[in-house]
Structure 1
Amino acid sequence: MRKAPEKFVELMVGTVLEPFARLPRAHKLALASTVLLMAAVIGVRNNGDQESLSLPSLNLDRTPVAIPEDAPAPVAEAPQAKALSLPNFEYQIHSGDTLSGIFDHLGVSQAAMYQVLDSDQEILALDTLKPGDTLRFWLGEDNELQKLELRFSLAHQVIFSRVDDSHFEFKKVDIPGTWQSDALGGEINGSFYLSAQKAGLSENDIARISSLFKDKLNFARDLRAGDSFQVVRRSQFVDGEATGDTELAAIRINNRGKELNAFLFSDGSYYDADGQSLARAFLRYPTARHYRVSSPFNPHRHHPVTGRYAPHNGTDFATPSGTPVLATADGVVTRVTNHPYAGKYIVIEHGGKYVSRYLHLSRALVHKGQLVSRGQKIALSGATGRVTGPHLHYELHIAGRPVNPMTAKIPMAASVERKDKPAFEAEVKQLSAQLDQAGQPAA
């Protein structure tokens, strides 16, 4: 009795497979690929809780976290995407994602991921990914990664393109857009942090204000109820849409009848209304002793490990492991983390357009969000990551672009230069008028 159903199944299978067997080989491969792709997409959509979707560690001291069950499955594009006109996959970052997990989720090899990370050590863009950012993947034969685009916002993208079997090169895309100003203000009611948040300022805005005035004002002790603040904030737009990038153009704090102010000038530094710098001058060297430069800043450097020509966006100092590393200017620590090739590193924002990076450290002595002063010991040098020996790699970025920290024009003076004073005074007059318009909402 059980043989009848089996005979029926055999007959049905033969009916389906016989026409398939007569197809040309190319047609068989195309049909089989289509069936497998459909099965994969359906499987991912219907089995989001399968073990195969758990995220392996990237060896960056991060705890592996499973992709959220409600995360959208990658959408496969048409075959012509392989011509690199359209991406094969587009994936939006979710909380808990890791890079290795995303590559696994999309079926892209871990080897390709580390090839991209190798190229990324010059800009460390992948380390800044956050929920809401988008990754776009272009694949070739055998699902081999050909191009990866990191879309941080409408104005900022980084593109990694394959140059040979084992290497990628990167390209930064920064769109200037247009900047619009708005004036925000409020009264102190409780802490400055909560009052500023209520007025619409972000955590980054508040940290920058605290850093700028830390030598002039104790925010926890000196401010009282009834004191006020006003801010002119510029926001970037591309084709009428906000990119999320902002900068503080002017700040005013009224503390018991005393007025403190800061104005961002075209040189990227903040000054008070008289043109005196709020931040102390930069240090040229990130160490107390001037160690030998073992590898200078060079946009076309011959890499000592890979043998390829690639940019060297910083200056390497031949420091023994354990050498104290100093912050080159006042600022806010925005990143303390590890990278497979850059090693343990620290990033500090110095207000305005200045950012410094310190790579291959053996130990960090500060934490994210901490305010630091010029000359403060922030780390110990080492040999972490991919290096040929102990050294300190130091970078300085102005307006998002790496510069030679040994020769770049950085704030070394304590005031606006005389030749720039008329332009500065005109800027202060305009910004002060905008600060006067900032409302002070009732407590």
Structure 2
Amino acid sequence: MSLIKKNKLKLALMWVLLTSVLLVIVALLPVGDKVDSKAAIKAVPKVATALTYEAELPLYDANTQGETVTESTVASIAKELAKSYPKTINYVIQKGDTLGGIFETLGLSQTSLYQILEVDLNVLALDSIKPGQTLIFTEFEGLLTRLELQISLAHQVVYTSSGDNGFEFEQVTLEGEWREHSYIGKVEYSFAGSAKKAGLSLYEAQFIASLLKDKINFSRDLRIGDTFKVLVSRQYIGEERTGENRIEAVSINNRSRNISAYLYEGTYYDEAGLSIERAFVRRPVSSKYRISSSFNPRRLHPVTGLLRPHNGTDFATPIGTPVLATGDGVVSRVINHKYAGLYIEISNGQTYSTRFLHLSKALVKKGQRVKRGQKIALSGNTGRTTGAHLHYELHLRGRAVNAMTADIPIATAIDKKKQAAFKLALSNYHAAWDELKS
């Protein structure tokens, strides 16, 4: 075979390979992207795998014999053409990582970082990134166009560029499938160790101990030979667990007395229908302070028209007003945020959490237990605000709800009209345990 034919064959094979890679990239583009297929076929995308070819390859053409295509020329063209296609970077968060540090490591714009933090004020998801979670960055022509935080298989937050107007966000929550798991065990040493042996996770054992702490002292009162029964619902996407779970029912037989808790309409009750958890109050401040801005998840920016939810309730409080915990819980965050200012988050059991933004001073620390009505902070005017006020949020299983109208546990016992339904729920819980015994 002549040299010219060999070169023509090599060029043809290279063209087929590069065109195939381009078509794969086009196929993977989001459905909404419009691509000129004829123009795309003419382009040569950057290929991730190294191509081996002659450093200087004669190009056969009847009119341009003698001209050559060099390796550096191909690389230069490929580099320019690659800018016309989205580039995706998957980054798994490591211990000690910060969002600012990740942006700097990847060479991403600080302007984009601040725009995303501004819109994240409405969800504050990026303030609590954890090792093992994944950030997916999408760049186009050197600009960040999309950021996805994968909190779990069932929960993602997506930030999408709207050009000069900054970013919008969307929370993606998958319901998945909740499957019940029953466990029966006997105390052999510590409750946590015995529960783990029975099949429960350490987190689930700790939650039970926290839930029933007012009913039994787990380190002093439990005895070897005491028995326990637990019903847990765990979330699955396909056959994979998401890590989300909830204790549905627990019953502990401690020296001839029974300590129990049953989840019903978001609140835990004992066998008699009395609330295990202390009730919430709706307002974190005195009733004399008016509501200056109500909960509005569909609020639009007055200038850009972009979705800017107001996921809380604002109270017109002067700086230094005492802020009170609305329910019992554990302080999970005390953070200074560029836009939210100084804020506190409290985990109020497995179902609820509360947030208090724009504070002037925090009176509690992370990990501290607090009681309903306890003074936890002083209101302020920190972060991005138009004036002094307190922004208060209530979250139900990670989703913001209207604290002024939500169905929260404010009663101490099951309503008489719901007693029959509650008894039916209890019988279903006990049937699940009986089935496990058989």
Same fold per TM (> 0.5)? yes
Q: Map of 1:50-65 to 2, 5 A cutoff?
A: none
1:287 partnered with 2:298: no
Change in 2 beyond 3 A, CA 1:402/1:133: same
The 2-side partners of 1:242 and 1:147 are apart by: 27
SS in 2 for 1:184: strand
Superposed displacement of residue 192, structure 1: 3.8
Change in 2 beyond 3 A, CA 1:239/1:421: same
| Match of residue 365 from structure 1 | 363
The 1-side partners of 2:85 and 2:274 are apart by: 56
Superposed displacement of residue 196, structure 1: 4.0
1:217 partnered with 2:227: no
Superposed displacement of residue 157, structure 1: 0.8
1:186-241 deviation line (CA, Å, top 9, x unaligned): 44455444544554544543443233223322334333343343321111111121
The 1-side partners of 2:328 and 2:206 are apart by: 12
| Match of residue 172 from structure 1 | 171
Q: Map of 1:391-406 to 2, 5 A cutoff?
A: 391-406=389-404
Change in 2 beyond 3 A, CA 1:303/1:210: farther
Is the 2:275–2:414 contact (alpha carbons within 8 Å) kept by the matching residues of 1?
Answer: yes
**Aligned residue type for 2:147:** L
1:303-345 deviation line (CA, Å, top 9, x unaligned): 6999965111001112233322222122333333332211222
| Match of residue 227 from structure 1 | 226
Is the 2:330–2:370 contact (alpha carbons within 8 Å) kept by the matching residues of 1?
Answer: yes
The 1-side partners of 2:187 and 2:334 are apart by: 32
Is the 1:264–1:271 contact (alpha carbons within 8 Å) kept by the matching residues of 2?
Answer: yes
What stretches of structure 2 of length at least 5 have no aligned partner?
Answer: 1-54, 60-66
1:281-307 deviation line (CA, Å, top 9, x unaligned): 210111245412122212244669999
Is the 1:207–1:332 contact (alpha carbons within 8 Å) kept by the matching residues of 2?
Answer: no
Please report the TM-score for the alignment, with normalisation by the length of structure 2.
0.76
| Match of residue 318 from structure 1 | 316
Please report the TM-score for the alignment, with normalisation by the length of structure 1.
0.75
Superposed displacement of residue 185, structure 1: 4.4
Superposed displacement of residue 150, structure 1: 0.8
Which structure exhibits the higher relative contact order, with contacts defined as CA atoms closer than 8 Å and separated by 6 or more residues? Answer: 1
1:152-175 deviation line (CA, Å, top 9, x unaligned): 222111110111224111111111
Superposed displacement of residue 278, structure 1: 1.1
**Aligned residue type for 1:174:** T
**Aligned residue type for 2:255:** R
| Match of residue 278 from structure 1 | 276
SS in 1 for 2:164: coil
**Aligned residue type for 1:325:** V
Superposed displacement of residue 364, structure 1: 2.9
What stretches of structure 1 of length at least 5 have no aligned partner?
Answer: 1-14, 38-77
The 2-side partners of 1:294 and 1:305 are apart by: 21
1:31 partnered with 2:30: no
| Match of residue 17 from structure 2 | none
1:233-260 deviation line (CA, Å, top 9, x unaligned): 1111111211111111111222232111
Q: Map of 1:43-442 to 2, 5 A cutoff?
A: 81-82=85-86, 88-141=88-141, 143-265=142-264, 267-301=265-299, 310-435=308-433
The 2-side partners of 1:255 and 1:288 are apart by: 42
Is the 1:343–1:386 contact (alpha carbons within 8 Å) kept by the matching residues of 2?
Answer: yes
Deviates more, 1:396-405 or 1:311-320: 396-405
**Aligned residue type for 2:75:** L
**Aligned residue type for 1:226:** G
| Match of residue 46 from structure 1 | none
Change in 2 beyond 3 A, CA 1:366/1:431: farther
Is the 1:262–1:270 contact (alpha carbons within 8 Å) kept by the matching residues of 2?
Answer: yes
The 2-side partners of 1:369 and 1:181 are apart by: 30
The 1-side partners of 2:73 and 2:286 are apart by: 66
Q: Give the RMSD, CA atoms, in angstroms.
A: 3.3
Computing the radius of gyration from Cα coordinates, the structure with the larger value is: 2
| Count of aligned pairs | 375
SS in 2 for 1:259: strand
Change in 2 beyond 3 A, CA 1:31/1:188: same
Is the 1:188–1:227 contact (alpha carbons within 8 Å) kept by the matching residues of 2?
Answer: yes
Superposed displacement of residue 417, structure 1: 2.6
